[in-house]
Amino acid sequence: MMEPEEIVSKIQAAIADAQVRVVDMTGTRDHFDAIVISPSFEGLLTIKRHRMVYAALVEEMKGPIHALALQTLTPEEWEAQQ
Amino acid sequence: MSESKKISLPISGSTSVEANDSPENSEQGGDILSEIAKINSDNPVVLYMKGTPDQPMCGFSAAASAVLSSYGKPYTAVNVLADPEIRQGIKVYGNWPTIPQLYVGGELMGGSDIVRQMHESGELLEVIERALAKVD
């Protein structure tokens, strides 16, 4: 079990200039939805971006986190979506 | 109508025994990784999922298999719930922590988020058709 804030910190520690929002999807503190916005995603395939996020949470993915749905965007891509 | 081939795999146990065989995962790991490599090279489109396309056991797996089924092209669904070795092995094999996982042409595409995004952009159908064309 984890708090969304802990996940945010881990991702920010690992990915430069990341803006992160994490939501607990089920209230059971183990299924999360995350949006990560970072310029370091530029030019990377989605799978590469997701790997970067999972790399920040290696131990957590083995236990406390059962599911982590991801959206990984550059700031420009985020703007384009608004 | 979609077709999906359900692979039935041995429930558990290594297929080879070595003299210094240890019960730790790393020894069995080698065999399961080869088995997974073979599944991925023998089949152009492989979805490792919880449950089956007809009876998915998790929402993410349901979504991924629904996308694949919607194309009406054959694909292989591997039910990781039926085989704990595969369930663990597939995470080690591709260094990817969650299920479902989609492999096309032997390459990991990603999980359900990526399947959905690739589906919406049209990229997924393209990739699948290319992989199926290579088989013929």
Q: Is residue A58 part of a domain?
A: yes
Judge: A51–B95 Cβ closer than 8 Å, yes or no.
yes
What's the maximum distance between 2 C-alpha atoms anywhere in chain A? 35
Q: Are B45 and B104 in contact (CB under 8 A)?
A: yes
Distance CA B82, CA A41 (A): 36
Judge: A54–B97 Cβ closer than 8 Å, yes or no.
yes
Q: How far is A17 from chain B (nearest CA, A)?
A: 23
**CATH number of the domain that A46 lies in?**
3.30.300.90
In this prediction the pTM is 0.78
> How many pairs of residues across A and B have Cβ atoms under 8 Å apart?
29
Q: Is residue A80 part of a domain?
A: no
* Total number of domains constituting chain A: 1
Residue B10 has pLDDT above 60, yes or no: no
Residues in chain A with pLDDT < 50?
Answer: none
Q: Is residue A81 part of a domain?
A: no
Q: Is residue A32 part of a domain?
A: yes
pLDDT score recorded for residue B15:
27
ipTM, two decimals, is 0.74
Q: Is residue A28 part of a domain?
A: yes
Sign of CA dihedral B92, B86, B75, A69: negative
A68: Cβ contacts below 8 Å, ≥ 6 apart: A7, A32, A33, A34, A53, A54, A57, A61, B98
To which residue do tokens 């945010």 refer? A8
Q: Residue B57: count other Cβ atoms within 10 Å of its Cβ.
A: 14
A60: Cβ contacts below 8 Å, ≥ 6 apart: A2, A7, A10
Distance CA A24, CA A3 (A): 8
Q: Which domain range does residue A25 map to?
A: 4-75
Show the CA angle centred on residue B128, arms to residues B126 and B131, nearest 5°.
110
Q: Is residue A36 part of a domain?
A: yes
Q: Convert the pLDDT of each residue in B15-72 to its tens digit.
A: 222 333 334 444 455 699 999 999 999 999 999 999 999 999 999 999 999 999 999 9
Residue B5 has pLDDT above 50, yes or no: no
Mutation for testing the A interface, residue in B98, B104, B119, B123 having most A CBs under 10 Å: B98
Judge: B114–A50 Cβ closer than 8 Å, yes or no.
yes
Q: Are A34 and A7 in contact (CB under 8 A)?
A: yes
Domains of chain B with CATH codes: 4-10+22-135 (3.40.30.10)
Question: Quick one: which H or E segment has residue B117?
Answer: helix B112-121
Show the CA angle centred on residue B23, arms to residues B18 and B27, nearest 5°.
55
A64 touches chain B (CB under 8 A): no
Q: Is residue A9 part of a domain?
A: yes
Q: Is residue A51 part of a domain?
A: yes
